[in-house]
A and B are shown apart, each in its own frame.
Chain A
Amino acid sequence: AQKVTQAQTEISVVEKEDVTLDCVYETRDTTYYLFWYKQPPSGELVFLIRRNSFDEQNEISGRYSWNFQKSTSSFNFTITASQVVDSAVYFCALSEAPGGGNKLTFGTGTQLKVEL
C-alpha cells in the first residue's frame, strides 16, 4: 500500500529565510503522481504542483522549487526567501494513477510558521 511521510511536524523560520519541507513516499506502482498542497488557516487546500513518476526534472515557480528524486523516493519542497504569507500547513500527497484514479494519499502535513 502507498504511504507518504512528512517527518517535520512543525517548522518555524524568520522571514526571508529559505526553508525545505521534506516528503518521502512509498508505492509499488511504477506510474504515480506526487503533489504538494497548501492549507492556510481558512482551511481550503490550495494546489501547488503535480509531478508524474517519469519526470524527475526539478521545477521552479517563483520562490517555490521542488526536488524529485526517485532513487530516495523523495519529493522535497523549498521556499526561498520565505514570507509571512507562506505560513500554512503543507501537505505532500501521492496518487497511484491511473489505476488509483484521483485517490490521494496524504502525508500528515508540516506546519510552517514564518515570523517577522
Chain B
Amino acid sequence: KAGVTQTPRYLIKTRGQQVTLSCSPISGHRSVSWYQQTPGQGLQFLFEYFSETQRNKGNFPGRFSGRQFSNSRSEMNVSTLELGDSALYLCASSFLGSYEQYFGPGTRLTVT
C-alpha cells in the first residue's frame, strides 16, 4: 500500500513569492492534516481537511491556506513568502476517527 506522497520534495523561493505544495494521502484516508516544522518552533499544526472542508486550523496567519479535492488530495498555499516560512512542511493522512496519522516525507521549503 503506497504511503503519503508529497510534491515537490524540495523548493527554493524568493521572499514575496507564493508557493503551492501538494499532498496525496494513503488510499482510503479522507482526513489530511498539514504541519510546519522549524528548528525554532518545532512541529506546529497548520490545518486539517476532511471531505473538502477545513475541520481545524492552527495559529498561522491568513497567508497560509489550504484546500482538499474530491479525491482527498490536498494542497497548501503560502502567499507573500517570508524568510521565516523556510521549513519542512509535513502532510499526514488518516481514516476519520482513527486518530492515527501517517506522515509523508515532507517538502523542504527554503525562502531566500
Contact = CB atoms under 8 A, between A and B. Distances in A.
Q: Which 3 A-B pairs have the closest CB atoms?
A: A45-B103, A106-B43, A44-B105
Interface of A: 33, 37, 42-47, 50, 91, 93, 95, 97-98, 100-109
Given A44-B106, A106-B42, 13 more contacts: A45-B92, A45-B103, A47-B100, A50-B100, A91-B43, A97-B99, A101-B56, A102-B92, A103-B45, A103-B56, A104-B45, A104-B101, A105-B45
B42 A109 contact: yes
A108 B99 CA distance: 20
A107 B90 CA distance: 16
Interface residues of B, number: 25
B105 A108 contact: no
Contacts of B75: none
Residues of A contacting B: mostly: loop
B18 to A, nearest CB: 24
14 contacts: A43-B88, A44-B103, A44-B105, A45-B92, A47-B102, A95-B99, A102-B31, A102-B99, A103-B45, A103-B48, A103-B58, A104-B43, A105-B45, A106-B42
A98 B97 contact: yes
